[in-house]
Amino acid sequence: MKIFFNVDGFFFTIITIFLRVTLAGNLAKVKIREGTIEEIESAMSHFYAENHHLHHALLAEYHAHLAPIYMLDHNATKFRVPSFKIYVNLINAKLMDINEANELLSMIIDLEVRWRDIRLRWKPGNFSGIEHIVLPEAIIWTPDFVYYDQAAQAINLIPEEARYVRIYSTGEVVQPVMHLVRTSCNLNMTEFPFDIQQCSVALGTLIYAAKEISYQINVPEFNEYKKSDTFGWHGNSEWEVEKPKAERIKANNTLVKYEYINIEFTFARHPSFFMAVIIWPVFLLNSLCILGMFVDKTGDCLNKMILGLTTLMAMAVELEIIAEEMPKTEKMPLLASFVFRAINLIALASVVILFVPKIKKARKKLPDRHARKLFQPNFIFLVIFETLNGLNFWWLLSHKKPHS
């Protein structure tokens, strides 16, 4: 039995299906058209009326001072009521400043806070399909976020007249929170200027117990917000911010056992400024000073001492700049150690240069002529001190982190 395949009929069927689908899509698009001014005004009036009706229905018997939190003991019921959940998303974190001398951290923290208030539920079908409403946050209950650091200051960056929440028909409430936070941070300056600092920001409630309210904190992946200045976490010209770590912590006070959120930020310093302003100039100044001391064979010790003292004064200025920026810690920072060693090196060279003439006189007493020729005190001390200066520079750079 032979089966014949009609090529023309096949292509005709495909073209027919394509035209039907295209025409159906166009017809569907035609159904949605631009409304006239009268139709738009009528629709908006109806929406305003339904929105007003919804607003009245939600808040007629609503008390913003009463929290939607179950506070009865579990023994009062025959079932366990879960704690009230508050979901917190870290949307944006922008580093403003780290004050090393006072150990203070300044950041802008942008949060999205979500919770479910069953008193704010409604059926969209009863209100012409309205699924959400925007209301001022002052007229509903909102969580009382407190920063736990006693030295912390939180400034709400959202103007009072612009503080609104979005409420969905399911009772879910979404509140944007944007604070400028100033808090203390224990800095470890031992590795300065190649240091990595970790600072924590703790926030939560002080009045509700852990069995009454609990938190869920989410830190989104960096790749999701990499190309946006509004989302993610951002440093400044001096610091780079790594992905924050967030966790829930339970603690006790004299009254109740409570729960709070701890967000840990990691900051990696960019040392380019200190490399250009302090490290490289100190190394170069030491190298030139040593050259000036030991290359000149005139034996004028006074001028060489003046050169050494001038260099020491310049080093002291650099050390004072570092001291003004640093907190008064027990351990000396790397940069201060580097400058301190450079000062000691020049001080030692200034002392040695005084004995070079006597060493030259002692060289003349050597019996071997070749030994007298090879033994050049200026060259030997030049090599020794330049090597020590280079080792000091290498020692500092060996602590440089890969991110730097």
Residue 265 has pLDDT above 50, yes or no: yes
- The pLDDT of residue 16: 58
Q: For residue 298, what pLDDT is reported?
A: 64
Query: What share of the chain in percent tops pLDDT 90?
Result: 42
- Banded pLDDT at 176 (limits 50, 70, 90): very high
Residue 114, pLDDT > 90, answer yes
Listed in order, the ranges of the chain carrying CATH 2.70.170.10 are 74-270
Tell me the pLDDT band of 4, cut-offs 50, 70 and 90.
very low
**Of 70-79, 104-113, 117-126, 222-231, minimum mean pLDDT range:** 222-231
Mean pLDDT for the stretch of residues 9-23: 55
Amino acid code (one letter) for 193: P
Gap between the Cα atoms of 49 and 43, Å rounded: 10
Cis before 220 (ω within 30):
no
**Which has more confidence, 74 or 53?**
53
Instruction: Judge contact between 112 and 173, C-beta under 8 A.
Output: no
Is the distance from CB of 116 to CB of 171 less than 8 angstroms?
Answer: yes
In whole angstroms, give the CA distance from residue 310 to residue 293: 12
Say yes or no to pLDDT of 268 above 60: yes
In the chain, which segments carry CATH 1.20.58.390? Answer: 273-397
CA-nearest of 397, 388, 149 to 279 is 397
Q: SS3 of 18, please?
A: helix
| Phi–psi pair at 138, nearest 5 degrees | -70, -20
Q: Which residue has the higher pLDDT, 223 or 400?
A: 400
Q: What is the pLDDT of residues 124-166, one digit of tens each?
A: 999 999 999 999 999 999 998 888 877 678 999 999 999 999 9
- Is this prediction's pTM over 0.75? yes
Please give the DSSP secondary-structure letter assigned to residue 15. H
Pick the CATH number of 74-270 from 1.20.120.160, 2.40.70.10, 3.40.1260.10, 2.70.170.10: 2.70.170.10
**Maximum mean pLDDT: which of 4-18, 58-72, 116-130, 330-344:** 116-130
pLDDT value at residue 196: 93
| pLDDT reported for residue 157 | 94
For the segment 295-310, the average pLDDT, to the nearest whole number, is 75
* % of the chain at pLDDT higher than 70: 81
Q: Which tens digit of pLDDT belongs to each residue from 20-63?
A: 555 455 544 445 667 788 888 888 999 999 999 999 999 999 99
Secondary structure (3-state) at 204: strand
For the domain spanning 273-397, the CATH number is 1.20.58.390
Q: H or E stretch including 353?
A: helix 334-363
> Higher-confidence residue: 342 or 367?
342
List Cβ neighbours of 72 (8 Å cut-off, separation of 6 or more).
81
Q: What are phi and psi of 97, to 5 degrees?
A: -165, 150
Lowest mean pLDDT segment, chosen from 9-13, 40-44, 287-291, 332-336: 9-13
Among the ranges given (181-185, 195-199, 298-302), the one the predictor scored with the smallest mean pLDDT? 298-302
